[in-house]
Amino acid sequence: MVVTGSQKGWMAPPGLAMIAVSKDAYAAAERAKLPRWYFDFAREKKFQERNQTYTTPPISVMYAVQEGLRMILEEGVENVWARHTLVGSMIRDGVEAAGLRLFAAEPYRSNTVTPIHNPAGTAEELSKLLTLLRTKHGLVLAGGQGDLKGKIFRIGHLGAIHVGDVYMILASLELALSELGLLSRVGLMVPAAQVIAREGVATAEPAGVH
């Protein structure tokens, strides 16, 4: 089985799960005795064969996914992979140019999200940074979860993220860090990203999930 969500690389709002079920998984669902509702694949398959769903589908999200698929096919799947590799490398080189520390070791860095160690030192100061980015610069970045709460923040670059968006993200982040006294010098992130953009290739091919 393979499971994905509409809010990830499909560039649509959350609310729709897409599940690819193999023949073996369908056979297991037919034999299964455990009570289930949404994940009764045997029952759902019967409805799918009639072009129906067992429960009320999120129609608006399905239209959004359809548009996301159109955008992907228009760009070309291989070009989508290449763009994610490029913007991921731009983000990583940009933040490192300003002295920020990436959380993931190089072999495990992802082209979909870049987690960065908290440059503010405390969870409270990191919260101030994320709030400033959101309220003044219009940029929403996520903090860490679980044991990493207050220790990292994350720059997401999965989906409809392009070179121009990377420049905006890095410029806004650099300004906010400077405004809070967390950077002594600005103007480093965007030029570092521009070097990668001019080359048109990533400095390295990370092994993380694309």
Each residue of 131-158: pLDDT tens digit?
999 999 999 999 999 999 999 999 999 9
How much is the pTM? 0.83
Dist. CA 126–CA 128, nearest whole Å: 5
Find all residues with CB under 8 Å of 125, minimum gap 6, and list them.
118, 180, 182
CA quadruple 41, 44, 45, 46: dihedral sign: positive
Say which CATH class 77-199 falls into. Answer: alpha beta
Numbered ranges of CATH 3.90.1150.10 in the chain: 77-199
Each residue of 74-116: pLDDT tens digit?
999 999 999 999 999 999 999 999 999 999 998 899 999 999 9
Which DSSP string corresponds to 85-112? Answer: HHHHHHHHHHHHHTTPPBSS-GGG--SS
